[in-house]
Chains A and B, each alone.
Chain A
Amino acid sequence: MLSIKDLHASIEGKEILKGINLEVKPGEVHAIMGPNGSGKSTLASVLAGREDYTVDSGEITFNGKDLLELEADERAKEGVFLAFQYPIEIPGVTTTNFMKTALNKIREYKGLEPLDAVSFLGQMKEKMKLVEIDQSLLSRSLNEGFSGGEKKRNEIFQMAMLEPTLAVLDETDSGLDIDALRIVANGVNKLKNDDNATIVVTHYQRLLDYIVPDFVHVLFDGKIVKTGGKELAHQLEEKGYDWIKEEAGVA
């Protein structure tokens, strides 16, 4: 589904990603872990098509398409979803209106009719339940005055609405208490099926108790320096990242 080959990316002339390789198949869950500043959010942003980053070399194919050729909104229409580490506040745009616009733009791209008001509301209700988010929150300005947890839940709500084929969750666990974490993880798990895939970016193992990864990758200084199964996350939790640095010969 997703294939990243020798990806190099920079911002303002500073190289951040220094040769990333990653293969993701339908039905898989990949975790990307790594210390702060190692480039996790950069990778997520480059996948989503943020223009501030320059891709210097390498390739990304997504379901046979050259992802780097597509604009951010086209990637979303193709099924890429980024749950933001820091969701943006947009005064004056309600979540409801935002979702209606997004959903119908995606439907239009797929040659589908816009959703009528009744079906839209029905879908909203169903997905709201999934992440236990309140209606009143969704009729307010997008993320404005939301608590950290509400913002993260809103991200997963949006993911549920848009039903992406590849979801990239960037530190969706940070700032969540254990109850909220369970709700969010539960939402993600319910959305999982054999045809979609999830990349979970985190630097704690805790989320991975709930969203169980098939692969764990350690990102360090712009490179994936180690890949393993879910037990790797536990090792990292116990031993920190230093041993990885040594093993990778970069310390």
Chain B
Amino acid sequence: MLLRFRLNGRPVEVETPPGRRLLDLLRQDLGLIGTKEGCGEGECGACTVVVDGKPRLSCLTLAIQVEGKDVLTVEGLAQGGKNHPLQEAFIEAAGVQCGFCTPGLLMAAYALLLHRPNPTKEEVREWLSGNLCRCTGYEQIVEAVMQAAQKFKGIGGGRA
């Protein structure tokens, strides 16, 4: 099928089987390799993207399920060559070690901040509960999201 959707703010048209995984469409067909594949079955969150403002696992999403939708991947976070406040905060708070989980965590956190610009720590933990990290022990990540929430307001708020 000819699939049309918005990707990181731009309209795209791509020829794809409708049953192709969004993850493969992004990584293999569109060359956006920021989105990672960990488990491939919903358990790790490494493949998290944001679809119409909500977090979604791209390993459990078919191409046809994003037809006409607005998809944001980690590549869409930085604007004009500048990191998104979330990315900055992850670096500052040492929320990144090997980095494999980072794109998924960033997108889950981004979705949280869209809904709750001033989250509590408890809410941050809840919203990141589907994302596994084998390195950091999570505390730094929660801290990073709390820091970013302070700076995030007004910076990329309304965009999905």
Physical interaction between A and B: no
**Chain B interface (Cβ < 8 Å from any Cβ of A):** none
